[in-house]
Every structure is written in structure tokens, then in C-alpha cells.
């Protein structure tokens, strides 16, 4: 595995998976895409899609072991690095035609704050990308991102967006609603809570929060297709699935996918807040945080998704048959996830 990066030097061996036999032939092997957050939910799918379409892909990751598992079989160069480390970034980005910036945090942990990673990390990455001659910059933002938002997460994503728009690079911004897929940390959390709540399933605020869940594979395709079109430069695209759903409706479909039944009980957010706060202090990896509770007050739907309108992608429904992978979550795995560092 190709490893990172001290004082700007990339060193070690290169690692790549087997090429996808269904992929089109490489017509221009010099086209290099650098993907930050390459072992994350969206990153793994973007790397697969780009490799399938003939790009040379360099995945920048924080955890080499995780990358080896998630990117197994994908023709990808893997390097270990951190978007906050300006001294190491030139070596990671050099030779890249495009940077696809996916690295971000949705839940703060010690040493991983919204401001330092989502906002300052993006500013640092943009500066280095410009200095080494990167031509395009694709940024994964968030529906509702706004530098004036009262919510810290959305404010950090908004500040990152502002920096991208002001960068002078040929940028493209994607603003998805909640993204779902086998490795996501939203719908999978709902499913783990099913295992941990054998009779009654609590719904914050009655489950009225609204989302437009979009499948990770569709997001990855949109990112890949945007690189082949000049008219996507300096454009921002909202991404959402085929329908808006409340949290209650999403949980109902999760239950159907898992072949489970629970009594859904609405609980006021004010009642849940002290319990969630306590869990944050006691558990290394709580399923819900007070920040996420606050975000339920923000409408997360997408009035005009660009999936079909711009990229010709038929959006994958948030349906029990699509979510069947959730059945594999065991009670033991759900419990262990609370204590995972």
C-alpha cells in the first residue's frame, strides 16, 4: 500500500486492486483524479466508478487498513494523508487533473472538529491544489450548508462552499440530502437502533423531520459524469432521491427491510436531549448526538434534484428491497458499534 507523507514526501509501495473487466479501456491513462476521503462511504463508490470509467485514481485516506478492505479489487493508488497537513499535500496532489474533495466529518470527535476539518481543511486543500496546478475541484457539500447557519455542522460546510466558489478553480459543488448505502452512518444507525430497541422504537420529535434519501451509487455516478462535461464547471447541484420522506417513514421502511416490527413512539426532542448528552459522555461512539438532534429541525429535502434533470440518472428508491443489506446487522454488532473508537 502506498503510504503517506511526512514533510510532503510520498513513500512506500503502490497498491492497486484488479481492474474491472467491465470497464471501458483507458483512452488517456494520464488523467488522474485525486479523491480525498477515499475510503469513506462516498469515496469508495467514487473510486470504483472512476476506475471503471478509465481514470487513474489516487485515494487519500486516513486509515490504511480500512482502505485495504473497502477498496479491495479497485484499481486505485492509496496514500495516507490528512487535508489539514499543508506540508504533505503537494506530494499527494501533484499530477492530479482533478481533486474530488469528500473528506469531512458529520460527528465531532476529539481532534476532529467541524471547523478544523470541514472548513479549514477545505481552505488548505484549495490553496495547495491551486499551487500545484490542479485544473478542477469537485466538492461534496451538504443540502442546507450555509456559512450563516446557526448549526455548526452546516455552518462549517457553508464556509467550505464559500471558499470553493472563491477559489478561481473550475469547481463543481454537490449538495446531497442524506446519503444511504451499505456503509452509511445514518440509515445503518437507524437499523442498529432496531436491534437495540426490541419493543419500542423512539422517534425524536414524533419522526416528522424530512429527508430525501439518495443512494450512494447514484451520487458517485453524478460525480463521475460531471468530469466529462464542461458545462458543470462553476455549478452547484442538489442531489436527492425520488421522494421526500419523514423520519417515521424511513424507519418504517427500515423495519420492513429487516423483517422486524416495533412500536414507534414519538418522544419530544427536549426529553431526549439530556439522555443523548449523557450517552455522548459515556459512549465512545454514541448513535445520536445533540448536534444531530438539532439538525432534525432543518428540512433536508431537495425540490429539484439534478440526478435525472442534469445527469440522466434514474434515482434509486429508498425501498425495503434496496435496503435488504440491513438484515445483516446483528444485535452484537449493534452493541459493539457503541464502543468503537
Give the pLDDT score at 109. 84
What are the structural domains of the chain?
Answer: 2-176 (3.40.50.720), 179-213+241-300+316-341 (3.90.25)
Residue 237: the pLDDT is 98
Instruction: Round to whole Å and give the CA distance between 215 and 219.
Output: 7
pLDDT at position 30, please?
53
Instruction: Label residue 321 exposed, middle or buried (CB < 10 Å: 0-12, 13-18, 19+).
Output: exposed
Q: In the prediction, which pLDDT does 29 show?
A: 54
- Tell me the DSSP string of 101-116: E----SS-BTTB-III
Whole-prediction pTM: 0.90
Pick out the chain residues at pLDDT < 50: 1-28
Please list, in sequence order, all residues whose beta carbon lies within 8 angstroms of the beta carbon of residue 270, skipping any fewer than 6 positions away.
none
* Each residue's pLDDT tens digit, 248-280: 999 999 999 999 999 999 999 999 999 999 999
Element holding 126 (H helix, E strand): helix 121-131
Amino acid at each position: 500500500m502506498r503510504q503517506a507523507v511526512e514533510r510532503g514526501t510520498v513513500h512506500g509501495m503502490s497498491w492497486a486492486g484488479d481492474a474491472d473487466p467491465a470497464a471501458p479501456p483507458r483512452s488517456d491513462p494520464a488523467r488522474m483524479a485525486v479523491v480525498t476521503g477515499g475510503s469513506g462511504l462516498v469515496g469508495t463508490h467514487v473510486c470504483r466508478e472512476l476506475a471503471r470509467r478509465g481514470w487513474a485514481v489516487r485515494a487519500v485516506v486516513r486509515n490504511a487498513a480500512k482502505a485495504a478492505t473497502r477498496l479491495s479489487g479497485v484499481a486505485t493508488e492509496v496514500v495516507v494523508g490528512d487535508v489539514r497537513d499543508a506540508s504533505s499535500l503537494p506530494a499527494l496532489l501533484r499530477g492530479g487533473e482533478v481533486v474530488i474533495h469528500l473528506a469531512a466529518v458529520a460527528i465531532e470527535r476529539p481532534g476532529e472538529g467541524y471547523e478544523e476539518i470541514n472548513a479549514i481543511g477545505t481552505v488548505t486543500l484549495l490553496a495547495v491544489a491551486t499551487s500545484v496546478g490542479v485544473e478542477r475541484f469537485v466538492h461534496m457539500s451538504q443540502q442546507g450548508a450555509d456559512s450563516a447557519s446557526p448549526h455548526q455542522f452546516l455552518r462549517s460546510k457553508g464556509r467550505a462552499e464559500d471558499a470553493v466558489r472563491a477559489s478561481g478553480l473550475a469547481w463543481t459543488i454537490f449538495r446531497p440530502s442524506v446519503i444511504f448505502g451499505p456503509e452509511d452512518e445514518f440509515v445503518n444507525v437507524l437499523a442498529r437502533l432496531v436491534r437495540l430497541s426490541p419493543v419500542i422504537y423512539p422517534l425524536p420529535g414524533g419522526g416528522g423531520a424530512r429527508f430525501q434519501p439518495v443512494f450512494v451509487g447514484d451520487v458517485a455516478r453524478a460525480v463521475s459524469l460531471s468530469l466529462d462535461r464542461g458545462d458543470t464547471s462553476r455549478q452547484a447541484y442538489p442531489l436527492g432521491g425520488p421522494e421526500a420522506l419523514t423520519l417515521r417513514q424511513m424507519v418504517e421502511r427500515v423495519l420492513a427491510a429487516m423483517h422486524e416490527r416495533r412500536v414507534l413512539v414519538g418522544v419530544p426532542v427536549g426529553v431526549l436531549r439530556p439522555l443523548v448528552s449523557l450517552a455522548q459522555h459515556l459512549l465512545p461512539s454514541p448513535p445520536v448526538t445533540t448536534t444531530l438532534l438539532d439538525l432534525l429541525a432543518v428540512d433536508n429535502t431537495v425540490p429539484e434534484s439534478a440526478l435525472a434533470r442534469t445527469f440522466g440518472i434514474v434515482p434509486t428508491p429508498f425501498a425495503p428491497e434496496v435496503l435488504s443489506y440491513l438484515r445483516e446487522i446483528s444485535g452484537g454488532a449493534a452493541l459493539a458499534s457503541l464502543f468503537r473508537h
